[in-house]
Amino acid sequence: MLRRIISIFKRDLKVNLKDFISLYIFVIPVLFAIAINLFTPGINDTTINLALLEGENPEQVRYFKDFAKVELFGDIDNIKSRVKARDDIVAILPNQENYYIMSQGNEPKGVIEFAKILNSFYQLDIQIEDTNVEIKDFKRTIPPLKKQLVNTAILFISILGGMLIAINIVEEKVDNTISAINLTPTTRKTFILGKSIIGLLLAIFGSLVLIFITGFTDTNLIQLLMIVFVSTLLSLLVGFIQGLNNDDIMNAAGSIKLLFLPLIAGALAIELLADKWQKFFYWNPFYWAYKGNDAVLSKTGSWKEILFYSSMVLILSTVVYLFLAPKIRKGLE
Amino acid sequence: MIKVKNLYHSYSNDDNYAVKDVSFEVTKGEIFGFLGPSGAGKSTTQNILTGLLELQKGEVSVAGYDIKKIIPKMFNKIGMSFEQSNVYSKLTAKENLEFYRKLFDVKTRNPDELLRLVGLKGKENKKTGDFSKGMKHRLTFARSMINNPELWFLDEPTTGLDPAIASEIKNIIKEQNDKGVTIFLTTHNMYIAEELCNRVAFIIDGEIKLIDSPKNLKLQYGDKLVEVEYIENGNLIQETFSTVIKSDKKKLQNLIGKHEIQTMHTKEATLEEIFIKVTGRRLV
């Protein structure tokens, strides 16, 4: 059985590596990861950038460096050019006895306010020791938006696994090869398992690649893989059914995209809706998978919690399986 | 090798049967032809025998296995060449065969040898999506031999092939049969059936009308006459003689001795003529 499962997987891999759409699906996790890194701010990007004149007031520079990222420039023209650059940076420049703030005009209000207050604190000679607030942190340097995007991307990747299976099933249908497979000692179960491997591996390796590129390497990978595994099962089922129901790769892929709706709904419900609305999303496996991923990525998930979320996804996927299994069986006849 | 008793099948699960009360047996080493026009029930019967269709009613045993409870290892013993070629178009011819051979538990044939046998030598590494219809058909035919089947189902094995290739395919079928392979041949081509089959069954509207050897059928249904064309005084003359009546036999002997014979044919009935006689329908 194992030999046949591997043969079916190797055949699919060989065909997918020759096919442009499948190759594109293979690299999507990498593209996701790069895009997330490019478009979400790192924790350092949320600090305030200040431009100052070099040598004008060394004491002020030292003071500001405790609270912001300081860049020094030799003259006003260089500072002007720097302030006009795409990122958020403001300059604090001398004006006779006082200082004025130079900004590009599109900086967040908070950045300007911060610069104003910092300059006032300096002029009033307020030191860190003067505060009675103590800050404690958990040394987490990843911003929440990035975590949400990575979480959603992991679920997207699980759907891509289903899409790949649909593509491979459509190929079998178009070439009419399922009947030939049925006349070998390959059982239906072996065939389904063999066909599922590529989708499952894409989801697992794609998620790992995403995690490594986006810098979530210190999360509990076993917990993460457990959630990825169970959430991929649903996508695989849908991949099979859409593959069997379509004769065209693009139609099958398009039908699989319907899964993005419950995925987005689950993610938005958790992030945006109040607790009283949450119960309306308990039917959605992606809701639980998102919760599970969130717990893993935040490093707050206990095993009990992760097992609960995984079980919820598994139970809901089993319900879907019970509904789809006769259709899959019939389609493979 | 095949035992079928009172087989019925309905696609609509009612009394509208595509196959009704079909019974026959195929012995080991035999080439059994299943002849009938399109929609007669040939493919339905064959699909039940190969397990592609579920057995609804009747008793069927294939290669010693009860079709009611098919076990996977049965497929190690059978091969099937489909009428519609079904190969992976994104794989090469050799990759197709290499993949299929790994799905069997028995000793398989070398893909290169099979490709050479069906005239696809030199095309091993060509993607089958770029193959002609005939080439795909030959690959499908080659694939059906990969597990050295004891029982070989052939569905229209020469359809769409040019005469030279069709002749090669017929030779391969004969060679395999000489090695002891039992063959179940489904076709509407009476010539290939006549040439290859030890026995044929005529099926029409889901019912078997007759089973016998082509030779017996010809004897039973053909006219016992000889048609002769000969030259006499520079003229071409045509006459028909009985091969049973004594006086006609003598006349024929004299004719052969005295005249230059141009053509001489026995008036045997073709299988198609017999089919029409028996069923009242044409094979196409």
Specify whether the CB–CB gap between A143 and A26 falls below 8 A.
Answer: no
Specify whether the CB–CB gap between B152 and B78 falls below 8 A.
Answer: yes
More confident residue, A133 or B278: B278
For the cut 90, the answer to whether the pLDDT of residue B257 exceeds it is no
Question: Looking at domain B2-214, which CATH architecture does it have?
Answer: 3-Layer(aba) Sandwich (3.40)
Q: Are strands A49-53 and A69-73 parallel, antiparallel or unpaired?
A: parallel
Question: Could you give phi then psi for residue A190, rounded to 5 degrees?
Answer: -60, -45
CA closest to A18 among chain B residues: B90
Percent of chain B beyond pLDDT 70? 99
Contacts of A183 in chain B (CB under 8 A): 50-52, 75, 78-80
- Asked if A7 and B87 come within 8 Å (Cβ–Cβ), the reply is no
CA closest to A172 among chain B residues: B88
Confidence class of residue B109 from pLDDT cuts 50, 70 and 90?
Answer: very high
- Asked if A182 and B100 come within 8 Å (Cβ–Cβ), the reply is no
The residues spanned by each domain of chain A are: 2-40+142-331, 44-130
Q: Are strands B19-26 and B2-9 parallel, antiparallel or unpaired?
A: antiparallel
Average pLDDT over residues B237-256: 86
Fold of A44-130: D-Maltodextrin-Binding Protein; domain 2 (3.40.190)
For residue B252, what is the DSSP state? H
User: Nearest CA of chain B to the CA of A195: how many Å?
Assistant: 14
Give the per-residue pLDDT at B144. Answer: 94
The encoded tokens of residue A311 equal: 């079980």
ipTM, two decimals, is 0.81
Q: Which of the residue ranges A70-74, A140-144, B114-118, B154-158 would you say has the lowest mean pLDDT?
A: A140-144
Give the per-residue pLDDT at B221. Answer: 78
The whole-chain average pLDDT of chain B stands at 88
Give the per-residue pLDDT at B75. Answer: 92
Q: By three-state DSSP, how is residue A262 classified?
A: helix
- Each residue's pLDDT tens digit in chain A (333 positions)? 788 999 999 999 999 998 888 888 899 889 988 888 887 765 445 568 899 988 888 888 888 888 888 899 988 889 998 888 877 789 999 888 788 999 888 777 888 888 888 888 888 888 777 766 665 655 555 667 788 889 999 999 998 898 899 889 988 888 889 889 999 999 888 998 999 999 999 999 999 999 998 888 888 889 999 999 998 888 888 888 888 887 787 887 778 888 888 888 888 888 888 888 888 889 988 899 999 998 888 877 789 989 999 999 999 988 888 888 888 877 777
Contacts of A184 in chain B (CB under 8 A): 75, 100, 103-104, 147
Specify whether the CB–CB gap between A276 and A284 falls below 8 A.
Answer: no
Give the per-residue pLDDT at A42. Answer: 54
Give the per-residue pLDDT at B283. Answer: 65
User: Nearest CA of chain B to the CA of A17: how many Å?
Assistant: 11
Give pLDDT tens digits for B87-102: 999 999 999 999 999 9
Of A14, A182, A186, the CB nearest to B52: A182
User: Nearest CA of chain A to the CA of B121: how many Å?
Assistant: 23
For B227, counting Cβ atoms within 10 Å of its Cβ (0-12 exposed, 13-18 middle, 19+ buried), the class is middle
Q: Tell which of B50, B86, B103 to mutate to test the A interface (max A CBs under 10 Å).
A: B103
Question: Could you give phi then psi for residue B104, rounded to 5 degrees?
Answer: -105, 160
For the cut 90, the answer to whether the pLDDT of residue B152 exceeds it is yes
For A115, counting Cβ atoms within 10 Å of its Cβ (0-12 exposed, 13-18 middle, 19+ buried), the class is buried
Q: Tell which of A3, A12, A177 to mutate to test the B interface (max B CBs under 10 Å).
A: A177
